[in-house]
Structure 1
């Protein structure tokens, strides 16, 4: 069972959403890619609640197949997608936010998004405790474990390389320079399958429908 009949999904977009041509003009997506994202959005936005919006539980279900899993990384990404800060993601926010992960998106957009991801307190700076929290969250999301000593070493080395002003925090200017010298920082900021979104959906989307086991986990 799905949220809409397969014979009706072609060139459909969520009811009341923004025009695909306008969204394509604003983002790195083509019109056809935006239309395909409309189908993807429909599936995600009705996986738990059929309200035409993606709430945090649906967002987590799409990534983890578990709407209850707690992870700072996912919470932070959701917050950045939720541009209007109303606790849900509409289609325009979905497309505009995903655009930064498109292979054709400018590197400057990817660097800026990554900076905001780590700037947990939204102060315009990345501080050591924020970086440590995100490193731990990323390790947890990947089911990896490192000792506290190793994590602290990662934080210390990052600041030694990025904090060129030596004030104990990393501003956007320092982050841009650090990212240019350390391309590995952006390796998760490009999702190649977005180039093929008109052909097929990523596996997590095809498996995102709720069943009783998901709701009990």
Structure 2
């Protein structure tokens, strides 16, 4: 995993965030296309968390039957009609995204997120969708998002808006709409939601500390490695807190980015590279 090295700016006390924004060299379009092709056509086994044995009998699980091809095609056709009006994808692109989704959700070992429907003994049903393992592989291998697992988890939660533990078809497509065709404001809103760790509408200094701590390289011989993180969090707060209320609201974040666009991913990469986006869009063409 790539670790980012961050440092403070010059004598004026400003924040040098260039290192935060540095990314790994983008792969060539051919390599990304190859990655997408290999990923979509080969099965990846999802890691299964080990469970401790229990003396109590586990709740009965009712597995939702996979719809037949005719039902699935009908459902996808309705989704395409709906999202054609809500997204910036063409009908051809939406149909291609539905096909990719079907491939991803049918990979061997694909986990399903639990959805609690009632309080009886038969309470747990599985939700079909893209799980965390597949999502992480997509971000790393297809969209060149090389970041720490904690940030990937936050991204997954932002895509999984229903908190079901799996990304459904509609969320998959609307998430990609931001990635591939989103405006600057769309991307600002997404990044802000990722960095707002407790989803209270603000990025606090404590949240900045956690985000920076996850991506800073610990220097050998440092007595207090958290000291630099605290200093950097303080500097970031001064840079982004436009109204000086001690926390960063979206309006603060938006104003700071309009003044300095490089601050968009100040707390870690959570958007794909331009090259990977272009390569992925090519795969959607007939």
TM-score by length of 2: 0.55
Q: Separation in 1 of the partners of 2:218 and 2:82?
A: 44
Which of 59, 66, 90 is the equivalent residue of 2:135? Answer: 59
1:9 corresponds to which residue? none
Give 1:129 deviation, angstroms. Answer: 1.2
1:162 corresponds to which residue? 240
TM-score by length of 1: 0.71
Please say which of residues 162-171 and 180-189 is displaced more in the overlay: 180-189
Give 1:105 deviation, angstroms. Answer: 1.5
Q: Is 1:34 equivalent to 2:112 in the alignment?
A: no
Q: Separation in 2 of the partners of 1:121 and 1:50?
A: 26
Secondary structure class of the residue paired with 1:197: helix
Q: Which runs of 5+ in 1 are unaligned?
A: 4-13, 202-217
> Which consecutive segments of 4 or more residues in structure 1 shift more than 6 A?
none
Give 1:50 deviation, angstroms. Answer: 7.4
Higher helix share: 1
* 1:42/1:181 CA distance change after superposition, 3 Å: same
Whether the 8 Å CA contact 2:196–2:207 is kept in 1: the answer is yes
**How many pairs were matched up?**
184
Please say which of residues 50-59 and 78-87 is displaced more in the overlay: 50-59
Secondary structure class of the residue paired with 2:283: coil
Whether the 8 Å CA contact 2:111–2:131 is kept in 1: the answer is no
Which of 134, 154, 170 is the equivalent residue of 1:76? Answer: 154
* 1:63/1:172 CA distance change after superposition, 3 Å: closer
RMSD: 3.0
Which of 245, 250, 257 is the equivalent residue of 1:172? Answer: 250
